[in-house]
A and B are shown apart, each in its own frame.
Chain A
Amino acid sequence: MSKINPKAEATLEKDENEIANRQTAGLSQRQIVIKRFVGHKAAMASLFTLIGIIVTVFTATGIRVGGESFGFTIPGWWPYSITDIDPEGAIASMCNGGVTGCPTLDLAPAFMDGDGVKFGNHPFGTDIIGTDYFALVVRGAQQSLMVMVIVSFLGILIGTVVGAIAGFFGGIVDAVLMRLTDMFLVTPVIVIGAVIGFRFGNLGVIPLALMLGFFAWMGLARFVRTEFLTLREREFVDAARVAGASNRRIIFKHILPNAMGIIIVVGTLLMSGAILIETSLSYLGFGVRPPDVSLGLLISEYQGTFSISPWLFWWPGALIVSIALCVNFIGDGLRDAFDPRQRKHISIKDRKRAKEMKRLNS
């Protein structure tokens, strides 16, 4: 860290403000947010990784639309499913004395170990009864992603409605709604989740996620309420009211768009939390049950065989971590993008470009 004398610091700060202002000149609020988000490298990389994971996971084994008796299946590009047991006699031909099939994935290029990059029939190996492990992990990831989406959608919806009503109307409505929020809030989510999962876990992942969603809104409701409390005192709300706008119009047109930042940011936290909750519940046996598959379930099933077949343990964990990590980074990028106080870090490149422009202008 180089020492900066106060005078230089003052001019530097002025410069930085100028650079920051010039970067956002003539753009609408939404454009500024998008521009800032796109400039956040870690968030953009995470966004693309997450999209990649989602696309891979949902196209691989196909999706069943509708129930058992009706509906149709969109076929996937992966040849095996979680119900194909030992499709090619993979166990017998494999390592570990035929206990589990070894992974055929080999990412080390030819010049390193001479085998070359290849995926093989079972890139993630097979499990104890010979089911393709890639299909299992993909199925687990689908479940986790669905939980993530449903829980965060419900959580955001309920949380926003409760928080908005409490914050906007205040008084007795606020007091009642907030005490209600506190009642839900005193219980750790995992406790409520365990109770719900114990009952709904065997019905499949969607009922579980729906129920979890009803207990995931409290944190957001508090944030939204605080935001509404400050926003409703602002001049533009008074102006709208004087102009004769109805409460509904003020809430939806004037306040909600300004509270979008906090909703989106807390929403992403909710998403990564939901994934960890679902996998933890399944790990404990309160969530998704066999014969269905979940990432947490796979880990709890194969933690004991770590020393013989570590890949059965690594892959589901790696997927949980990468999904949660991507969501967290995207959330961080969104927070930076939505926070007007947070000045973007001015890189050396920006500064050089600004100097260049100044020189050209003069």
Chain B
Amino acid sequence: MRCYRGQGVDLLQYVLRRLGMMFVIVFGASFLAYNLQAYSSNPLSAFTESTEQNKSFLIAKMIRDLQLDVPPPLRYFSWLRGIVGGLWGDFDMGLSRNNIPVIELLAQAIPVTIKLVITATFLAIILGISVGMITAIRQYSRFDYVMTFISFLLFSLPIFWVAVLLKEFMAIQFNDFLADPNIPPATIITIALILGFIMASFVGGSKAQFLTVAAGGAAFSAAALTFMSGSNWFLEPALGIFGVSFLALCNAAIVIQLISGLDSKKGRIAGFGTAVSIAALYYPLQTLMSANASLVNVLAIFAVTISVGLTIGYFVSDIDRRVYSRISFFTAFISTFPIIIDRFMQEFPGYMNSDAVNRRPVPTLGQNNDMLTPEQLENFWVAGLDTAVHLVLPTIALTLISFAGYVRFSRGSLLEVLNMDYIRTARAKGLTERTVIVRHGMRNAMLPLTTILVNDFAGLLGGAIITEGVFAWKGMGQLFNDALRGYDMNLFMGVFVLSATLTVLANFVADLLYGVVDPRIRIRK
């Protein structure tokens, strides 16, 4: 909190004022929402066509139960009393119409929604920002035009439409493909060429360089695909020690290039050294990943790899210790994922051939497979794999949709920064292009991104309503849906207040964070 030094009182005042404002906003918004929902729904409409004998009794009962004789603006306050009760430890969100406390329903739904969106959000952020920044660096290149078109296209796609396409092509047809997992040579060549061109556009350079990279990438992809097709890889997937080492080395190269540049000798030792030692840890780490492992084991693996990485970083460097430690930290952290993914893959053949899955591993609906045996559920890796395959389609759909926003935003942000005078100064000082773009450009371009990152996490509910509906997940969106269709006022307000509070808090955190990361911003007195 460097920028607030000497203004502690101001900051306290600011935080208190903002908190007060947040209460007012959430109060106003919930009042609005309550009345909107109360006036636009009529629970008694269920009886209009009823022919039951005790119809009038039932109507009277419902009016009494739901307090329908109290006008909504007043009824709001009886709901509010439960919320305000939180101030003296008597918090009460009321009961749903099935007589289950709303807070319990919310507690069940929140983890589901978070599980649904978290992978997609991270993927979209990482892919979107990197693609956006590359398009900004190569402004007006062919890659830029293609990515601009693609991001506009993704902007215009309705998620429910994408979902149906994914179900058809990613799930049903992929499952059919697994019955006989051989890729015809013509398809291999096409896919390899496309992948080659994508890799080359990321790397860029002169025309000759572009073609070399494209040809190399295509040849490599073709070889990999032929190997995967020939060796039944799709039925028995594995990375093995070779896959893990290869990925670790590639990852190290990217991390080194971003942090110190590949021409730094110590950077190379720190990065590649870490990658090699992670690969060497492949077999020892398998002992930590037995069938009865848990999340603790996974954390332990990360602890082991990261401490190995940091040790290497420490001994490599004598000055600039932070730079090399950062290289080995990120190399170690990212390279651990392949090891864990490899462990999940080892369970795949067994999972796929079990009765519950019946050789069709990619499901189109649901958040887990109900037919798994207790034995399978107890196995951390099988249960995890089950969650993972259920996440495939929603994650792709959500990533595609939110990817476009990050591309456009980070592109615009970096372009704006690159036009600044300090970039010109940095170039004039004779810094390398890498340093100018990564240290002076990208870092500053990331600042405004904090705002949308935080807001996106808060806007989960909006995205979840449709996605959960399409893929039949039982999270917050589904709860909202149920509340709306079932005239469930308490449930509706529970979901609403939670999401409104999250949004307001996120805005507040974003403003504070912005002040921390950008010393130019000062809070207003």
Name A's B-contacting residues (CB within 8 A): 1-2, 6, 42, 179-180, 182-192, 194-196, 198-200, 272, 276, 279-280, 283-284, 286, 296, 299-300, 303, 306-307, 313, 317, 320-321, 324-325, 328-329, 332, 345
B521–chain A nearest beta-carbon distance, Å? 15
Instruction: Choose one: B21, B153, B168, B496; the contact of A187 (CB below 8 Å).
Output: B496
Main secondary structure of the interface of B (DSSP, over half): helix
* A195/B466 in contact, CB under 8 A: no
Residues of A contacting B159 in the complex (Cβ-Cβ under 8 angstroms) = 280
Interface string of B450-477 (1 = CB under 8 A from A): 0000000001011001100100000000
* B41/A184 in contact, CB under 8 A: no
List 19 additional A-B contacts (Cβ < 8 Å) besides A196-B36, A284-B466, A325-B152. A1-B205, A1-B206, A6-B427, A179-B24, A182-B504, A183-B29, A186-B26, A186-B499, A187-B496, A188-B461, A195-B40, A195-B484, A199-B41, A276-B156, A276-B158, A300-B160, A317-B158, A321-B157, A345-B140
When A179-B21, A184-B29 are in contact, do A190 and B155 touch as well, CB less than 8 Å? no
* A183/B40 in contact, CB under 8 A: no
Q: Does residue B164 face the partner (Cβ distance < 8 Å to A)?
A: yes
Cβ contacts A to B, 8 pairs, < 8 Å: A184-B32, A186-B500, A286-B484, A299-B164, A307-B168, A307-B172, A328-B155, A345-B140
* B155/A183 in contact, CB under 8 A: no
Q: In the complex, A276→B155 CA distance in Å?
A: 10
Q: In the complex, A39→B494 CA distance in Å?
A: 51
* A280/B158 in contact, CB under 8 A: yes
Q: In the complex, A70→B236 CA distance in Å?
A: 69
Task: Using C-beta atoms within 8 Å of the partner chain, give the interface range for chain B.
Answer: 35 or more
Q: In the complex, A199→B487 CA distance in Å?
A: 12
Interface string of B154-191 (1 = CB under 8 A from A): 01111111001000100010000000000000000000
* A199/B466 in contact, CB under 8 A: no
Residues of A contacting B152 in the complex (Cβ-Cβ under 8 angstroms) = 325, 328-329, 332
Instruction: Choose one: B24, B168, B465; the contact of A284 (CB below 8 Å).
Output: B465
Q: In the complex, A335→B36 CA distance in Å?
A: 36
Q: Does residue B25 face the partner (Cβ distance < 8 Å to A)?
A: yes
Q: In the complex, A2→B209 CA distance in Å?
A: 12
Instruction: Choose one: B24, B29, B156, B500; the contact of A324 (CB below 8 Å).
Output: B156
* A191/B465 in contact, CB under 8 A: yes
Residues of A contacting B205 in the complex (Cβ-Cβ under 8 angstroms) = 1
Residues of B contacting A279 in the complex (Cβ-Cβ under 8 angstroms) = 158
When A1-B141, A198-B40, A303-B164 are in contact, do A272 and B156 touch as well, CB less than 8 Å? yes
* A306/B500 in contact, CB under 8 A: no
Interface string of B23-39 (1 = CB under 8 A from A): 01110110011001100
Residues of A contacting B28 in the complex (Cβ-Cβ under 8 angstroms) = 179-180, 183
Tell me which of A189, A303, A307 has the highest count of chain B C-beta atoms within 10 A of its own C-beta.
A303
Residues of A contacting B499 in the complex (Cβ-Cβ under 8 angstroms) = 186-188, 191
A-B contact count (CB 8 A): 123
When A1-B205, A188-B459, A188-B499 are in contact, do A179 and B161 touch as well, CB less than 8 Å? no
Nearest 8 Cβ contacts at the A-B interface:
A188-B462, A199-B40, A324-B156, A183-B28, A325-B156, A186-B500, A317-B161, A183-B29
* B156/A195 in contact, CB under 8 A: no
Q: Does residue B440 face the partner (Cβ distance < 8 Å to A)?
A: no
Main secondary structure of the interface of A (DSSP, over half): helix
Residues of A contacting B25 in the complex (Cβ-Cβ under 8 angstroms) = 179, 182-183, 186
Q: In the complex, A191→B206 CA distance in Å?
A: 50
Residues of A contacting B459 in the complex (Cβ-Cβ under 8 angstroms) = 188
Q: Does residue B503 face the partner (Cβ distance < 8 Å to A)?
A: yes
* A1/B204 in contact, CB under 8 A: yes
* A191/B496 in contact, CB under 8 A: yes
Q: In the complex, A182→B172 CA distance in Å?
A: 44
Residues of B contacting A280 in the complex (Cβ-Cβ under 8 angstroms) = 158-160, 466
When A179-B21, A199-B41 are in contact, do A187 and B500 touch as well, CB less than 8 Å? yes
Residue of chain B at shortest CB distance from A320? B158
* A187/B33 in contact, CB under 8 A: yes
A49–chain B nearest beta-carbon distance, Å? 13
* A321/B41 in contact, CB under 8 A: no
A342–chain B nearest beta-carbon distance, Å? 9
* B153/A321 in contact, CB under 8 A: yes
Residues of B contacting A321 in the complex (Cβ-Cβ under 8 angstroms) = 153, 156-158, 161
* A198/B160 in contact, CB under 8 A: no
* B164/A313 in contact, CB under 8 A: yes
Residues of B contacting A276 in the complex (Cβ-Cβ under 8 angstroms) = 156, 158
Residues of A contacting B343 in the complex (Cβ-Cβ under 8 angstroms) = none
Residues of B contacting A186 in the complex (Cβ-Cβ under 8 angstroms) = 25-26, 29, 499-500, 503-504
Q: In the complex, A325→B25 CA distance in Å?
A: 35
Residues of B contacting A1 in the complex (Cβ-Cβ under 8 angstroms) = 138, 141, 204-206
Residues of A contacting B158 in the complex (Cβ-Cβ under 8 angstroms) = 276, 279-280, 283, 296, 299, 317, 320-321
Q: In the complex, A289→B239 CA distance in Å?
A: 50
Residues of B contacting A187 in the complex (Cβ-Cβ under 8 angstroms) = 29, 33, 496, 499-500
Residues of A contacting B37 in the complex (Cβ-Cβ under 8 angstroms) = 195
Residues of B contacting A307 in the complex (Cβ-Cβ under 8 angstroms) = 168, 172
B360–chain A nearest beta-carbon distance, Å? 15
**Which parts of B417-474 form the interface with A (CB within 8 Å)?**
427, 459, 461-462, 465-466, 469
* B36/A192 in contact, CB under 8 A: yes
Instruction: Choose one: A183, A296, A328; the contact of B160 (CB below 8 Å).
Output: A296
When A1-B205, A345-B140 are in contact, do A191 and B462 touch as well, CB less than 8 Å? yes
* A190/B40 in contact, CB under 8 A: no
Q: In the complex, A332→B141 CA distance in Å?
A: 18
* B156/A328 in contact, CB under 8 A: yes
Residues of A contacting B155 in the complex (Cβ-Cβ under 8 angstroms) = 272, 324-325, 328
Residues of B contacting A200 in the complex (Cβ-Cβ under 8 angstroms) = 40
B460–chain A nearest beta-carbon distance, Å? 9
* B40/A284 in contact, CB under 8 A: no
Q: In the complex, A317→B172 CA distance in Å?
A: 20
Tell me which of B21, B32, B159, B481 has the highest count of chain A C-beta atoms within 10 A of its own C-beta.
B32
B288–chain A nearest beta-carbon distance, Å? 42
When A1-B141, A284-B465 are in contact, do A306 and B160 touch as well, CB less than 8 Å? no
Q: In the complex, A192→B480 CA distance in Å?
A: 11
Residues of B contacting A189 in the complex (Cβ-Cβ under 8 angstroms) = 462
Residue of chain B at shortest CB distance from A182? B25
Q: In the complex, A279→B164 CA distance in Å?
A: 15
Tell me which of A186, A187, A306, A313 has the highest count of chain B C-beta atoms within 10 A of its own C-beta.
A186
Interface string of B200-213 (1 = CB under 8 A from A): 00001110000000
